[in-house]
Every structure is written in structure tokens, then in C-alpha cells.
């Protein structure tokens, strides 16, 4: 990938994620039946969190903090410090306000404030498997692009996920997403990228010393074809598996950035995260120019995000083979 293409793709992924996030913020928690009557078609203001149009949430903020940490020289402690800077000081927030903090993420922030080691901060019980690690993981598809060792990629995802989510289920969901995004970056079309993700990731995960019951939970996305399911069988809650499935389904069953992200938003429930992740994948697949200009005009801190993307691309040019 040329440097020019790399910069454009990083920009498309980060801005695409923020655009999807911002589209979903005003209608988060709304049921899809309500959205069928009044579907989201463009940026909206106020709504559930009473934010201006184009305001993105913690999904994007923590993604951007991960990028900053990678650029500056990632360690679990430097990333945890950046997460706390967001939580305590609204660093890398859309408009200087922190809102909509997930339960597991909030708990991890409090544990970090108490001095808990970063990799032990995320709760490890199975009821702490929201999408808070998954929502911010897309930068690793870029930083691990040239890392051929799947075991290193797995360990890196696990470590970064564990700062807020310590259960293996959250790590598996995040890993599958990173592998999908990475396969897109390697030049595969979305169907081929998904096919490779299913086969290669499934083979790798089956060999892990993990409970078979955990992998069974990813049956629909790994061992079947999630894109063949009807909408009624796609759930869009904040549960990590639901979000992963919904994101892949929206991306695989559409053919443009606009249609994919709007489909994600209008599924309802955890609209910002489903649309953010869909927007990240769609940005990689369709490019920056595919993002509707009218949405970009309203997006908070667009210039700052584009600057971050440029700095990240410059760092990636001479990046190490992994974040370890």
C-alpha cells in the first residue's frame, strides 16, 4: 500500500467510524420498530443525549486515544493514562463533555484511578462482555497489518481489550473484528475478507486453550455466514457478540458507505457503536470520498480527526511489526 493510499485509508476508517458514531448518538436505545416509522437519514441534533448534530461518543474518543498511544509508544500504562485523561478531563471528546460511559468501561476507569494494573482493570466475569473493547479496536488492524504471526496479533488484541474488558469473550469478538478489517486492508473485497476471517480465525481460535462453549457463542459469525440471516434474527444490543454480528451483517449486505451506516443505525438499540464499527469497515472498503459530504460538514472536530489520521499514517510508514 502506497503512503498516499495508506493515509487516505486511515482517514476513511477513523472518520467513517466517527460519522457512524455521530449518526447513532441521537437515537441510541431506540427500538427498531420506532426507527422504521421515523428512520435516520442524516445527522440529527439533540435526541437521547441532547447533543449537537455530528457529536460522537466514547466509541470514537477511545479509538482516537488508542491511536495517540500507538503513535507515542504504546504500553498498557500509557494507554490506560490516555483513557483516564478522556474519562477525567474529556480529552479527545467531541465537544469537551464525556457522556454515555459504558458500565464495564466506567468500572475499569474507577479501578485504574485506584491504581489497579492496567491489564487487570477490566472485569473478567461473563456479565462484563459489553462492546466497550470492540468499539475502539480498529486501529490495531493498521498497526498489525504487517504482523504475520497470528499469535502475536491475538495477544496484542487481548492485552489492549483487557484494560476495560478482561473476559475472553470480549477478546475473541475484538480479534475477529481486527482480522476482518485487516483482511480488507490487505486488498480483499468484503466477501473474500469475510471468508478468510471465518476460516483462518476459526482454525486459530479452535486451537486455543479456551472453553469450547465460548467459541460456540460465535457460531453464527464464524462457522456460518451471518450475511444470509434475515433482519429479524440480527440483534443490535450492546452485548459484544450482538454488536459484532450486527456490524458484519450491515456491512456485508449493503454496497455503499451511506447505506451500510444507515442500516446499522436503524437497527436500533446500541445504534452508535453498531454504526461506528460499520462505518469503520465501510470507510476502509469504499474510501473517504464515499462518506457523504453533508455528514462531514456537521461532524465534530473533523480537522482534528483528519490530522490524527495523517499522523497515524506517518507513524505506520515506519512502524514496528507489532505493538509488543
Q: Given a cut of 50, is residue 146 above it in pLDDT?
A: yes
What is the SS3 assignment for 73? coil
Is 323 domain-assigned?
no
Q: Which CATH number belongs to the domain containing residue 229 in this structure? A: 1.10.4080.10
Q: Given a cut of 80, is residue 323 above it in pLDDT?
A: no
Q: Which residues contact 43 (CB under 8 A, 6 or more apart)?
A: 22, 23, 53, 54, 294, 295, 298, 299
Total domains in the chain come to 1
Mean pLDDT of the chain: 96
Q: Given a cut of 60, is residue 322 above it in pLDDT?
A: no
Q: Given a cut of 50, is residue 324 above it in pLDDT?
A: no
pLDDT of residue 107: 97
Q: Given a cut of 90, is residue 5 above it in pLDDT?
A: no
Is 81 domain-assigned?
yes
- Say which DSSP state 181 is in: H
Is 322 domain-assigned?
no
pLDDT of residue 209: 73
The predicted-structure confidence for 223-277, as pLDDT tens digits, reads as follows: 999 999 999 999 999 999 999 999 999 999 999 999 999 999 999 999 999 999 9
The predicted-structure confidence for 201-216, as pLDDT tens digits, reads as follows: 999 998 887 788 899 9
Select the more confidently predicted residue: 208 or 69: 69
pLDDT of residue 96: 97
Nearest to 26 by CA among 53, 5, 54, 47: 47
- Grid cell locating 262: 444507515
User: Average of pLDDT values for 69-89?
Assistant: 97
Q: Given a cut of 90, is residue 50 above it in pLDDT?
A: yes
Is 213 domain-assigned?
yes
Q: Given a cut of 70, is residue 320 above it in pLDDT?
A: no
Q: Given a cut of 90, is residue 185 above it in pLDDT?
A: yes
Say if CB 137 and CB 62 are below 8 A apart: no
Say if CB 313 and CB 3 are below 8 A apart: yes
Alpha-carbon distance of 129 to 218, in angstroms, equals: 13
Residue 290, domain extent: 3-317
Is 324 domain-assigned?
no
Q: Given a cut of 90, is residue 124 above it in pLDDT?
A: yes
User: Average of pLDDT values for 108-120?
Assistant: 97
Is 174 domain-assigned?
yes
Q: What are the residues facing 51 on neighbouring strands?
A: 46
Is 149 domain-assigned?
yes
Is 228 domain-assigned?
yes
User: Average of pLDDT values for 282-301?
Assistant: 98
Query: What pTM does this model have?
Result: 0.96
Alpha-carbon distance of 153 to 180, in angstroms, equals: 13
Amino acid at each position: 500500500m502506497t503512503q498516499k493510499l495508506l493515509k487516505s485509508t486511515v482517514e476513511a476508517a477513523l472518520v467513517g467510524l466517527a460519522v457512524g458514531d455521530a449518526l447513532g448518538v441521537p437515537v441510541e436505545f431506540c427500538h427498531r420498530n420506532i426507527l422504521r416509522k421515523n428512520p435516520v437519514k442524516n445527522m440529527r441534533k439533540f435526541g437521547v443525549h441532547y447533543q449537537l448534530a455530528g457529536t460522537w461518543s466514547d466509541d470514537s474518543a477511545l479509538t482516537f486515544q488508542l491511536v495517540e498511544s500507538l503513535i507515542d509508544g504504546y504500553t498498557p500504562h500509557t494507554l490506560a493514562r490516555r483513557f483516564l485523561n478522556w474519562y477525567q478531563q474529556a480529552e479527545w471528546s467531541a465537544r469537551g463533555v464525556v457522556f454515555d460511559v459504558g458500565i464495564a468501561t466506567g468500572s475499569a476507569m474507577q479501578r485504574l484511578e485506584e491504581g489497579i494494573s492496567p491489564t487487570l482493570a477490566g472485569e473478567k466475569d461473563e456479565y462484563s462482555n459489553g462492546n466497550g473493547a470492540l468499539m475502539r479496536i480498529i486501529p490495531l488492524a493498521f498497526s498489525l497489518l504487517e504482523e504475520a504471526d497470528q499469535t502475536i496479533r491475538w495477544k496484542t488484541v487481548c492485552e489492549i481489550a483487557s484494560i476495560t474488558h478482561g473476559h475472553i469473550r470480549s477478546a475473541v469478538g475484538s480479534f475477529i473484528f481486527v482480522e476482518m478489517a485487516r483482511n480488507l486492508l490487505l486488498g480483499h473485497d468484503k466477501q473474500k475478507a469475510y471468508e478468510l476471517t471465518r476460516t483462518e480465525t476459526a482454525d486459530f481460535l479452535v486451537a486455543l486453550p479456551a472453553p469450547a462453549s465460548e467459541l460456540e457463542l460465535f457460531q453464527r459469525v464464524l462457522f456460518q455466514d451471518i450475511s444470509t440471516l434475515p433482519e429479524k434474527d440480527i440483534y443490535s444490543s450492546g452485548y459484544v457478540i450482538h454488536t459484532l454480528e450486527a456490524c458484519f451483517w450491515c456491512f456485508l449486505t449493503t454496497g455503499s458507505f451511506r447505506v451500510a451506516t444507515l442500516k446499522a443505525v436503524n437497527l436500533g438499540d446500541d445504534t452508535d457503536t453498531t454504526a461506528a464499527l460499520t462505518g469503520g469497515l465501510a470507510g476502509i472498503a469504499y474510501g473517504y470520498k464515499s462518506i457523504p459530504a453533508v455528514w462531514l460538514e456537521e461532524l465534530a472536530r473533523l480537522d482534528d480527526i483528519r490530522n490524527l489520521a495523517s499522523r497515524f499514517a506517518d507513524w505506520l510508514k515506519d512502524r514496528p511489526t507489532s505493538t509488543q
